[in-house]
Structure formats: structure tokens, C-alpha cells
Chain A
Amino acid sequence: MVKYLKVFSILVYVALLAGCAGGPAVLSPASPGAGQIHKLTSLVFWIALAVFLVVEGLLIYAAVRFSRRTEDSMPKQTRGNRRLEIGWTLAPAIVLVVVFAVSLRTLRLVAYQPSATTAAGNVIHVRVVGHQWWWEFDYPDLNIVTADDMHVPAGAVVDLQVESADVIHSYWVPQLGGKIDAIPGHTNQTWFQATQAGTFQGQCAEFCGVEHAKMRLEVIVEPADQFQAWVAQEQAPIPTLTGVAAQGQQAFLGGACVGCHTINGTQAQGKVGPNLTHFASRKMFAGATLDNTPENLARWLANPQAVKPGNKMPDLNLTDTQISELVAFLESLK
């Protein structure tokens, strides 16, 4: 009976597995590092499955085969068997040592090595800073500071320096590699090679307070020319604005926004919240939990606390006019 339940559970697993498009993230690697981990995970899984079937099978067999059927009730009082016990001590030990050795090899392959990244021809350096509850991306070589979306060119080695502005967070984009914590007072280094183009989801993986669940990010791996175009766009100054957008710019620079946000080339130099210079070029905002649309932005500005309760942006009690001006302004910051 128990065996049938085990089989049932495995079938549920397989069904769920088949149900998700492209399979679970950890098992759909999009970088060599994630690929190495996937190989190790598969090895461990198959060995574990074999051990499970054998040991669970022996247990169920013993429980069923030796169930008392008559009142005759005195079995042989076996106390032990030295050879058997030595055997089942050595066998698991050997299997474990072998798998451990493989895991060491994988660890060496995925661990951060500063020499490897500097030697690579095509390296992008990004400083990843975890904030309650959004991710900041600072490209020191390119003079770009942005948030939520991390663009990298396909084929590049991406060298990440991971820090925290407040509490412990954890940077995790499963399709691109394992996670690394962002710890205040520490700088952690990690890397990945972006061999596959696409958009990859990530999420903070260390409980960091009330909105930990909504601290996400996207890594956008794009062909080199698109990446260069994005860089040029991010490095450009903000356009000269007219009309409602210009009124929005006035409202922004004259209001509380400048206390927390930066817009390059203006007097808005706040460092508490995300840099908004090219806000309109981002796919998502609010910790990559909202699609960047005028409707969502209006909803956010109307009351950020209603959208993401506890986040650090207060309700500014903006009027509808101010909101539509600000939306026009921010959505023209391409």
C-alpha cells in the first residue's frame, strides 16, 4: 500500500514536471555553470532514486513478508551479523565518497575565480546591491546605474560583486547559476557566462523583511548589438521634454521625489530608492513585480503602500493631475 503511495507521489511529480513549460528553472540551465550544477543534480537524483527503490523496497517487503499470520509467534532471535553490518557500512560510504568527489569537481568549476573572469575577453562587471526590497545594478565600467532589469550581452562573462545596503539578501537567478548572499559589511563575488539569449527570472532568496516575497529581478541576455544599443540609451542624457511630460518633470524635481531618487543630470540625487534616469526603458519596476505600464505606474504613485505594503516609498498623497503628469514624465525617460 505504501509502495503504491510512493509510486503515486512520483507520478504526481512527473505530471507536475511535465506541466510546466520548459521544466523547472534549476533543471533548465542557460549557462555553463548552471549546466554543471544540473549535471551533478541529475547524478545525485538517479543515485538517490536507486537507493530509495532498493531500501524502501526492502522495508516494505520485510514488513509484509514477515507479518505474523498465525498465533505461532516466536521467531529466531537473531542479534546481528558482523559481515552484513560491515558491508552496509562500507557500501554507502563508498557511494557517498564517489558522489562527494564529483561534487568537488563541480564546485571547482562553478566557484568564482577572479583570474578566470579577467582573462576572458568579453567581461561585464556589475555591482549588485540588495535593498529592502529591490535590486540595484551598477555597471562601474559603463557609468550606468539601474534597477530591476540587468542587461548583459550574450557570450559575455558577467562578473558580479554582490553587496547589501541594509539586511541580508540573496541573489538567485536559477537558470544562470547558484545563489550568493548579499551581506552588509561584506562583498561577495560570483559570476556566470551568458551563453544563451533570453530573459531569466530571479528572486531574493534570503528572508529580508516584510516584502521579501516581492524582491525579484530579471536578467536580460541579448545579442551584442542590442546590448550596445541599450548601453548607449542608458548613457545618454535625458531628453528635453515638452507638454505634460515637462510639467511632470517640474513636479518631480520640485517634490519629495528628489529625496530618494536620482535622475542623472538633474538636482535629483537621492540614493535611497532606485535610479530612475531611464525608467521607461525598463520592462518591470517595484522590485520587478509590476510590468512597466502607465496603468501600473499610476496605481503605484497613487498609493505605493496599497500595492506593496511596508515598502519604503511612502504614500505622497498625490492628486490625480500630479499622477498623470509624473506618469507622462517617467514614461518618456527612455
Chain B
Amino acid sequence: MATTTGALALPRRYEGGVLKWLGTTNHKNIGILYLTTAFVFFLVGGIEALLIRVQLGAPDNTLLSPETYNQIFTMHGTTMIFLFAMPILVGFGNFAVPLMIGARDMAFPRLNALSYWLFLFGGLLLYSSFLLGGAPNAGWFAYAPLTGTQFSPSHGMDFWALGIILTGLGSTAGAINFIVTILNMRAPGMTLLKMPLFVWQMLVTTFLILFAIPSLTVDAILLFLERNFGAPFYVASQGGDPLLWQHLFWFFGHPEVYILILPAFGIISEVIPVFARKPIFGYGAIVLSGIAIGFLGFTVWAHHMFAVGLSPIADAVFSLDSVIIAVPTSIKIFNWIATLWGGKINVKAPLLFAIGFIAMFIVGGLSGVSLAMVPVDFQVEDSYYVVAHLHYVLFGGTVFAIFAGFFYWFPKMTGRLLSEKLGRLQFWTMLVGFNLTFFPMHLLGLMGMPRRVYTYDAGQGWTLPNLIETVGAFIIAIAIGIFLHNFFASLRKGQPAGDDPWDAQTLEWATSSPPPAYNFAVIPVVHSRRPLWDQKYPAQAGGEPAPAAQTPTLPEGERPAIHLPGGSLNPVLLAFGLLLAAYGLIYTPWLIAAGIVIVFAGIIRWVLERR
């Protein structure tokens, strides 16, 4: 159904309301779906974190039983990684990448929608476990043999495996979509080395997803086969090996953390130049270091396994690779500082969060380097020191970058600015709360407190740091509350943003806020890395005499002849069929059959659909 209007191009009967959203294939709408859904999961994961912190706020606390606590921390990790951080970064990618490369949409719009629905349904499947016999309780990393039916008899781990498989399918499909889009649909003149850095980091990230997520999907399938069909992969007594799980899992798990940080690097690499009002310092180094991190990220997985009894030589090799990865990472940090250096910095909320990101990521990076040293890791592995490290890079890093992205792109998505005052209040509150919560954890690890413990003894000396951390967690909660207030208030009556409120540099700011469904009336021709900036400030174009990007507008009332993909309900249908089949795998073959029928119906309708 090809129609061209300012609104989403759906057959009339789909316009508006729930059906519009169920059938959307527009990258901006899908991006918004990802962002809002992932943010809801962030709030849920945050509540789980608060429960953990209240339970640990006092020794021998009885707020949560050990079984409940173990489900809560398992779901906290699983939610934050698979249902918040990955999808929200993909959400930014979905919204911004086609705009930044001058395209009208992703290469495969329906596949894009399918990725979203698989994410949502995978998340709902996971959370339904709370009502269906108990949530998964063996940690987000689900080490065998604890995850086998002998030690985890309830269905919790089956929900975990199937939820991971569903969301993983969505991620893999999304990765293919991004790679094809970025490699094939850039505007004329935009060579790879003229792409915005956010697009570069998304490209590397989606290659990581393409190679890492299938490893996790296979692990989860093997686990499901072991639990339900007696397959012997991870059980020693049947000839299997628990370490097989760890190798397969961390082969995914380490690239996963780069999947979580590279898009954040990309957001920071967009925000800092715009607010410093100069180009990124060392564009080429940022590109190369991103590729290096992506590649090296696959060679370090066993640094999560230093204590399992690998030979010292194996330990040393993985240690060396882990140390080497610190080099491209530190290059980026210096490049960002050098970008700020000599700038005329416009200190607004996106920039505050970006600076906070760099400041916190430096701490997380340093603790990461300490963990790469095997003997140090022998002591602090699986202790609160690691919890400190991972939260400095994932919260101090990724979450701060996500808020930088929110404050940066919210005007483009909605046409209104978020409140600057509330943004600053949130930033400082979050910074204080975050450091209070996670800095003492370095100390707790050195004091011998292991991870994943539901309580501790008053005599162990861990009480005061834990109490401070609990207070800090509630300060973070206040900061999030400030953001929510800011978000809803600004949606309704925020200051109108205009097309380019930040005087930015890349193509998405050359459209209206929000952009029309077709993004650009005429696809721009690109001649530089900062097409919009060079168009606005030709004198600053640094001696490049070529004409800057063209984003002409058409005469009033005239409609461009643009073919846009119409909406389609087949993605949500197909995802729903897979969801039914997943429940069927736990409960009854009838549901598997029903699910498969719906999946096939969806595929056939998809193939025959007239575009």
C-alpha cells in the first residue's frame, strides 16, 4: 500500500490508534516503540534494584526470602541487559540512523517491526514467569549445572531460555537490517568515512550482535534441550561439562558488553562536537578504535573465567588481550577531551550527561584494567568489586549516554525541548546517587563480600557500606523521578524546539521536528562529514570548496512522489505465533502447533503482501 501523506502510510482502516502502532513499519515509530518499551523495563529493573538494596541495607534482613531475592537479582540483570540497554540503544539507532545517512527508512521495514515485537513478546514471556511458578533464579548468566532440572526444577529457567531465544531472534534480525541499511542506503556522496560516528558505532555493534547473539541463542537451545529432553551437554555425570556453558556463554557475553557500550560511545561522539561547536577530534581514530574494540572483543571472553582452573598460560593470553583492549578505549576518551579542548562549549543537559559519561567511564575502565590482571582477579572475581566495575561502565557509562541521547534527540522526536533546569537537577542528583551507590562496592569486594548474596552477617563488617549504597540507590530513584516528570511535562508543554535547536552538524537536524514520514523531500547529496554544519557555516568548511548538502524544500502544497512502505500486521502476527509456540514448549504441544500455524500464516501473508 504505497501512499504518500504527512502521516504514516497505512491503508485507511489502519490509521490511528492501536492498529497504527501494531502495524507500523516506519523506523521513527519503531524507534519510539523501542525507546518507550525499554524505558518501562528500565523502571521495572530499577524497582528490582531497589528491592535488592533494601534487602541488603541491613544485615540478616528478612524482607525478601532467599528464593525471592534470587529471582529478583536474576530478573534485574536479565531485564537491564536484554530488555533495557540493548533495545533502547537499538531504539536510538532506529530513529536516528536512517535520518543521519539521508535515507527514508531501514532496508527491511517489516523485519524492523518484527524485531521490536520479538523484543516485547520475549520480555512479556520472561515476566509472565512470576505468575507461572516463579521467575528464573539462577542469575542472568545462568551457569550450569545449577540451571539443570536437578537443581532448578521449576519452569523458571525454561522461561529464561525461551525469552532469551525470542529476544535474540529479534536482535539478530535487527542486526542484519542495520548492516544492510548502513552499507547500502547512505545518501549519495556519503562514503563510509563521511558517516556520522553514531552510525559507525552502530555498524560495528550490529556486526557484534550478528556474531555473538547466535552463540547465546545456541546456548539457550542446548539448555532447553538438556532440561526437557535429557540432553547431556552441561552435566558432568552424563559426560557433559559445565564449563562448556561458560565458554559458549562468555563468547557471547563479552562482545555483549561492547554491544552495550559502543552505541553509547556513538552518542557521545555526536553530542560532544555539537556542544563544543567543533568537529570530533580524530574522526579516523574513533572509527578505527571502534572496529578494533569490536574485533578484540571476541578474543577476551575467558577473562570471566580466570578462577575456573584454566592453565596459567590460557589465563595469561586472555589477560593480555583484555589489557590490549584498553588502548583503543582510552584513545576515544582522549579524543573526546581534545574535542572539548579549545571549543566554545554550550553547557546544556546533553553535554552534562556526556561529560558525566566520560568521567564515570574512566573509573569503570580503570577498574576493568585491574580486573584484567589475573592475580587481582583471583581475589576480586565474583565479589562486589566486579559489581562496582560493571555498574560504572553500564550505568555511569551506558545509562548516562542514554540520557545524553534522550536530551539530545527528544526535540527531534517530539518537536519540544525537555526542561533544561530539570535536566540539570536530574544530572547532579543522579551523579551523586550513582557514586554513593556504587563506589563503596569496590571496597566491599576487597572486604570479601561475594556477589549474589541475599544477606550477610552483622559481624562481617559490611553493614555501613551497604547502608550507604542503599541510600544512594534511592537518590538515583529520585533522579529518575525527576526525569519522568520532565518527560511528561515537556511532552505536553515543553518549549517548541524548531528543526535545529542545538545548531548541530548532521542530517537529522535538517528535517522538521518531528520529521515527516518520508524524512527528506529530496534525498540530500553529501560532501562532508558535517553536511548540515558546512551548509550553515560555509566559511568554516575548512577549505573544501564543494557545495554543501542540499536539503531543498518543495513549493507549498506540492507533494513529492515518494514510495513509502505501508504498514503491515504480519510482523506482530509472526512474533505472536512464536510467542505461542514458546508457551507451548513449556506447557503443551497443542500450543506449539497453534503457534507454528500462525507463524506460517504470517510468513505466507508477508511474502504475498503487496508493497
Contact = CB atoms under 8 A, between A and B. Distances in A.
Interface in A36-67: 36-37, 40-41, 44-45, 48, 51-52, 55-56, 58-60, 62-63, 66-67
Interface in B319-339: 319-320, 323-324, 326-327, 330-331, 333-335, 337-338
A167 B148 CA distance: 10
B447 to A, nearest CB: 4
A25 B384 CA distance: 13
Max chain B C-beta neighbours (<10 A), residue from A74, A77, A174, A186 = A77
B375 interface: yes
Contact of A170 (B337, B363, B382, B464): B382
Interface in A1-55: 1-2, 5-6, 9, 12-13, 16-17, 19-21, 24-27, 34, 36-37, 40-41, 44-45, 48, 51-52, 55
Nearest to A67: B345
Given A25-B447, A103-B374, A205-B450, A66 B344 contact: yes
A89 interface: yes
Interface string B142-177: 011110000100000000000000000000000000
Nearest to B370: A44
A325 interface: no
Contacts of B537: 74
B154 to A, nearest CB: 12
Given A52-B363, A80-B284, A186 B374 contact: no
B451 interface: yes
Counting contact residues on chain A (CB < 8 A from B), the size range is 35 or more
A103 B362 CA distance: 21
Contacts of B323: 96-97, 99-100
B461 interface: yes
A56 B360 CA distance: 9
Contacts of A174: 379, 448
A178 B378 contact: yes
B44 interface: no
Contact of A206 (B143, B362, B446): B143
Given A51-B366, A310-B67, A186 B373 contact: no
B66 A210 contact: yes
Contacts of A9: 435-436, 439
A77 B278 contact: yes
B341 interface: yes
B376 to A, nearest CB: 5
B522 to A, nearest CB: 28
Contact of A62 (B337, B370, B460): B337
Contacts of B283: 79-80
Contact of A79 (B281, B363, B370): B281
A75 B242 contact: no
B285 interface: yes
A313 to B, nearest CB: 15
Nearest to A210: B66
Counting contact residues on chain B (CB < 8 A from A), the size range is 35 or more
A130 B276 CA distance: 56
A85 interface: yes
B382 A211 contact: no
Interface in B244-295: 276-279, 281-285
Contact of B309 (A48, A181, A210): A181
A213 B455 contact: yes
Contacts of B355: 2, 59, 63
A256 interface: no
Interface stretch (A105-113, A138-146, A258-266, A271-279): A105-113
B146 A208 contact: yes
A20 B461 CA distance: 7
B443 A17 contact: yes
A72 B344 CA distance: 8
A189 B307 CA distance: 11
Interface string A101-132: 00110111011000000000000000000001
Contacts of B455: 213-214
Contacts of A1: 428
A180 interface: yes
Contacts of B435: 5-6, 9
A235 to B, nearest CB: 31
Contacts of B446: 24-27
B131 interface: no
A1 B432 CA distance: 11
Interface string B527-546: 00000000001001010000
A68 interface: yes
A223 interface: no
A281 interface: no
B379 A179 contact: yes
B540 A20 contact: no
Nearest to B285: A85
Interface string B291-312: 0000000000000000111001
B448 A25 contact: yes
A212 B316 contact: no
A249 interface: no
B375 A110 contact: yes
A210 B242 CA distance: 19
A270 interface: no
B452 interface: yes
B145 A26 contact: no
Given A68-B345, A180-B309, A185-B241, A78 B66 contact: no
Interface string B442-482: 11011110111111110011001100100000000000000
A99 B346 CA distance: 39
B347 interface: yes
Interface in B339-376: 340-347, 355-356, 358-359, 362-363, 366-367, 369-370, 372-376
Max chain B C-beta neighbours (<10 A), residue from A9, A12, A174, A205 = A205
Contact of A80 (B281, B358, B442): B281
B516 interface: no
Nearest to B139: A207
A201 interface: yes
Contacts of B219: none
Contact of A185 (B236, B439, B442, B461): B236
Contact of A183 (B285, B308, B453): B308
A203 B448 contact: yes
B378 A16 contact: no
Contacts of B237: 184-185
B65 interface: yes
Contact of A100 (B66, B320, B330, B443): B320
Contacts of B346: 68, 73
B243 A59 contact: no
A52 B316 contact: no
B94 interface: no
Contacts of B451: 205, 207
B307 A85 contact: no
B319 A309 contact: no
Nearest to A203: B450
B344 A44 contact: no
Given A25-B448, A66-B344, A45 B542 contact: no
B344 A75 contact: yes
A146 to B, nearest CB: 22
Interface string A163-177: 000111010101001
A109 to B, nearest CB: 8
B340 A63 contact: yes
B369 A96 contact: yes
14 contacts: A26-B445, A44-B376, A55-B334, A59-B358, A75-B278, A96-B327, A103-B374, A104-B316, A167-B145, A179-B379, A205-B307, A210-B66, A212-B450, A213-B455
Rank and list the top 6 A-B pairs by shortest CB-CB distance, nearest first: A178-B378, A185-B236, A213-B453, A24-B446, A188-B309, A103-B373
Given A103-B375, A205-B451, 15 more contacts: A2-B355, A9-B436, A13-B439, A55-B334, A59-B359, A62-B337, A74-B344, A74-B540, A78-B338, A80-B282, A96-B323, A132-B151, A183-B242, A201-B448, A207-B139
